[in-house]
């Protein structure tokens, strides 16, 4: 058998947009694995330029300064394959559209852009007959987009549920292990480089919501925009909530949940991100540090679990490069990869209509009749209490106060909202400290 020399293979011109955490690792992997990749593709990946803002900063041995350019637009016009790892909405969107218009296939890790305006990108890919891949946009290194989009294309997915944000998982895990406050756990995540300097999108749940929007669109063949994903972050989760969860044999995790709700003509999608209590025996409860894990439930396949590194330069670059190889193979052998299918056109159900069990934490006056009044309010809204835990607050304040943690049986969201509104007008309930859903039971 004769082996083809990679040098004799044709070159595919690759433009890399961004030379940060992910971009430098993508370029390193292309440099280090160039020969193998050439054999796998049938062509060499030749990096013709790397777009960045600061052209003076040293990017390590694999990114020579000569490759750096501030003119990303000129770069994409010369490329066969564009890898976008710069992030943000603009100029990333315009550059990807320009690249596709010029016939280049594109790979992006940009979940914010896909969740906000994926439709424009999908339509451009279709119009120009090029590929659009984005495995790294959801859960970093974990193969998730491809299984949902391709491996399970013959099945009917019912639900995708999991932890898709590493920063918040690190923070909640640290709070659970050490009893630290949210602020202290976040500061430690930043010191260790897990959380970004500006972790707003992570801790407010927007990053997880963007991933939920992408997963829901793919899983249910419908267009689910970021604005349709109900999103709550972890900034209000307190050390008391973590301790209460632990006392009940539960763990708090930031969950992304996308699922089918209703049947037949009234079938819709629910897409939501919130911190929830799950049983400590649930497999997701043991997902520690910045790891991600996702369950997919499909009619024929049953339950599948995906676990691994959801962030970081090298893990994310692995997913980006997998996409680059796929797109490059399509260019060499012809044809296009999987497209966007939104034929099902399922609408998104409002959160108010959904049902879940709740944990509600209240600060109340410690006097006769308070528990009865609280139970009466829940009962008036059709909410059934499952457990009650009470602790006196021994802080010397008058009148005496107590802290009450209540779990409920499954209830409709709008009923819980109405009950909480009623509490706000009473003298007995001094504060609604937390309201968290209970999942996975
Ligand atoms: P970084 O901030 O580390 O890198 C961004 C790079 O893009 C920098 O090199 C920056 O240039 C360049 N850049 C930004 N804006 C422009 C612009 N207008 N013109 C030219 N260059 C520009 O980001 P990451 O590598 O962490 O993330 C990249 C993408 O990957 C994002 O979409 C992110 O959401 C996604 N992602 C990241 C993961 C991670 O773990 N980091 C995981 C999964 C996805 P300069 O260096 O000169 O400032
Ligand atoms: N900030 C994201 C996280 C990066 O913490 O998971 C990966 O998308």
- pLDDT truncated to tens, each residue of the chain (441 aa)? 457 888 899 999 999 999 999 999 999 999 999 999 999 999 999 999 999 999 999 999 999 999 999 999 999 999 999 999 999 999 999 999 999 999 999 999 999 999 999 999 999 999 999 999 999 999 999 999 999 999 999 999 999 999 999 999 999 999 999 999 999 999 998 888 777 778 999 999 999 999 999 999 999 999 999 999 999 999 999 999 999 999 999 999 999 999 999 999 999 999 999 999 999 999 999 999 999 999 999 999 999 999 999 999 999 999 999 999 999 999 999 988 888 899 999 999 999 999 999 999 999 999 999 999 999 999 999 999 999 999 999 888 888 999 999 999 999 999 999 999 999 878 889 999 999 999 998
Whether residues 244 and 302 share a domain: the answer is yes
Ligand 2 centroid distance, CA of 201 (Å) = 9
pLDDT at position 2: 54
Q: Does residue 98 lie in a domain region?
A: yes
> Residue 275: which CATH number?
3.30.360.10
211 is catalytic: yes
Q: Does residue 43 lie in a domain region?
A: yes
Domain boundary among 270, 298, 333: 333
Q: Does residue 254 lie in a domain region?
A: yes
Whether residues 179 and 129 share a domain: the answer is no
Q: Does residue 344 lie in a domain region?
A: no
Whether residues 244 and 375 share a domain: the answer is no
Structural domain including 367 reads 351-438
What is the position in ligand 1's atom list of the atom closest to the CA of 91? 18
Whether residues 223 and 291 share a domain: the answer is yes
Whether residues 153 and 292 share a domain: the answer is yes
Whether residues 84 and 172 share a domain: the answer is no
> Residue 38: which CATH number?
3.40.50.720
What is the position in ligand 2's atom list of the atom closest to the CA of 202? 1
What residue's CA is closest to ligand 1, atom 15?
Answer: 86
Which of 25, 166, 196, 320, when mutated, tests ligand 2's pocket best, judged by the most ligand atoms within 8 Å of its CB? 166
Number of domains observed in the structure of the chain: 3
Does residue 337 have its Cβ closer than 6 Å to ligand 1? no
In angstroms, rounded to a whole number, what is the distance separating the alpha carbons of residues 385 and 406?
Answer: 7
Q: Are 229 and 216 in contact (CB under 8 A)?
A: yes
Q: Does residue 338 lie in a domain region?
A: no
pLDDT at position 396: 82
In angstroms, rounded to a whole number, what is the distance separating the alpha carbons of residues 20 and 316?
Answer: 12
Whether residues 32 and 130 share a domain: the answer is yes
Which of 165, 171, 204, when mutated, tests ligand 2's pocket best, judged by the most ligand atoms within 8 Å of its CB? 165
Q: Does residue 339 lie in a domain region?
A: no
Token look-up 């890399």 returns 16
In angstroms, rounded to a whole number, what is the distance separating the alpha carbons of residues 439 and 441?
Answer: 6
Does residue 22 have its Cβ closer than 6 Å to ligand 1? yes
In angstroms, rounded to a whole number, what is the distance separating the alpha carbons of residues 277 and 405?
Answer: 13
Token look-up 């066969």 returns 80
Whether residues 169 and 259 share a domain: the answer is yes
Give the dihedral sign, CA 33/38/40/43. Answer: positive
Whether residues 215 and 76 share a domain: the answer is no
Which of 67, 86, 214, 308, when mutated, tests ligand 1's pocket best, judged by the most ligand atoms within 8 Å of its CB? 86
Structure token pair of residue 347? 């609408």
Whether residues 131 and 154 share a domain: the answer is no
Residue 284 burial (10 A CB sphere; 0-12, 13-18, 19+) = buried
Q: Does residue 346 lie in a domain region?
A: no
pLDDT at position 49: 98
Whether residues 130 and 152 share a domain: the answer is no
What is the position in ligand 1's atom list of the atom closest to the CA of 55? 47
Domain boundary among 274, 308, 342: 308
Task: Return all residues near 58 (Cβ < 8 A) that are at least 6 apart.
Answer: none
Q: Which of 211, 260, 331, 403 is catalytic?
A: 211
Does residue 333 have its Cβ closer than 6 Å to ligand 1? no
What is the position in ligand 1's atom list of the atom closest to the CA of 319? 43
Ligand 2 centroid distance, CA of 207 (Å) = 7
Task: Return all residues near 294 (Cβ < 8 A) that are at least 6 apart.
Answer: 139, 142, 144, 160, 161, 162, 163, 164, 305, 306, 307
Q: Does residue 232 lie in a domain region?
A: yes
**Which ligand has its closest atom nearest to the C-alpha of 170?**
2
Task: Return all residues near 290 (Cβ < 8 A) that are at least 6 apart.
Answer: 166, 167, 169, 170, 194, 309, 310, 311, 312
> Residue 374: which CATH number?
3.30.70.260
Whether residues 150 and 246 share a domain: the answer is yes
Q: Which H or E element spans position 12?
A: strand 11-17
């Amino acid at each position: 058998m004769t082996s083809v020399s990679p040098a004799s293979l044709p070159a595919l011109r690759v433009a890399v947009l961004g030379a940060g955490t992910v971009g430098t690792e993508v370029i390193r992997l292309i440099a280090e694995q160039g020969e193998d990749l050439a054999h796998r593709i049938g062509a060499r990946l030749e990096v013709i330029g790397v777009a960045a803002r600061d052209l003076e900063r040293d990017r390590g041995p694999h990114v020579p300064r000569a490759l750096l350019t501030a003119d990303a637009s000129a770069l994409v016009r010369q490329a066969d394959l564009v890898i976008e790892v710069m992030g943000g909405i603009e100029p990333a969107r315009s550059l990807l559209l320009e690249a596709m218009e010029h016939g280049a296939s594109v790979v992006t890790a940009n979940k914010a852009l896909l969740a906000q305006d994926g439709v424009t990108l999908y339509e451009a890919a279709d119009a120009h007959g090029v590929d659009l891949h984005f495995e790294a946009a959801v859960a970093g290194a974990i193969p998730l987009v491809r299984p949902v989009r391709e491996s399970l294309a013959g099945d009917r997915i019912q639900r995708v549920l999991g932890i898709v944000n590493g920063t918040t998982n690190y923070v909640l895990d640290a709070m659970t292990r050490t009893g630290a406050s949210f602020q202290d756990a976040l500061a430690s995540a930043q010191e260790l480089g897990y959380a970004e300097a500006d972790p707003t999108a992570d801790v407010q749940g927007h990053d997880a919501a963007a991933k939920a929007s992408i997963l829901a669109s793919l899983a249910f063949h419908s267009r689910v925009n970021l604005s349709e994903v109900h999103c709550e972050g972890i900034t209000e989760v307190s050390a008391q909530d973590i301790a209460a969860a632990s006392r009940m044999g539960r763990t708090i995790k930031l969950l992304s949940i996308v699922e089918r709700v209703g049947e037949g003509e009234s079938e819709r999608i629910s897409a939501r991100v919130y911190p929830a209590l799950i049983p400590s025996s649930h497999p997701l409860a043991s997902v520690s540090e910045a790891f991600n894990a996702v369950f997919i439930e499909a009619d024929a396949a049953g339950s599948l679990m995906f676990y691994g590194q959801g962030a970081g330069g090298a893990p994310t670059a692995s997913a980006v490069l997998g996409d680059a190889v796929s797109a490059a193979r399509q260019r060499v052998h012809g044809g296009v990869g999987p497209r966007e299918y939104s034929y099902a056109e399922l609408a998104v159900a409002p959160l108010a209509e959904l049902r879940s069990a709740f944990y509600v934490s209240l600060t109340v006056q410690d006097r006769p009749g308070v528990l009865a009044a609280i139970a009466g309010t829940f009962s008036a809204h059709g909410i059934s209490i499952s457990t009650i835990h009470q602790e006196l607050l021994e802080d010397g304040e008058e009148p005496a106060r107590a802290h009450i943690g209540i779990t409920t049986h499954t209830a409709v969201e709008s009923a819980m909202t109405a009950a909480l509104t009623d509490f706000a007008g009473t003298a007995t309930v001094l504060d609604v400290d937390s309201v968290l859903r209970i999942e996975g039971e």
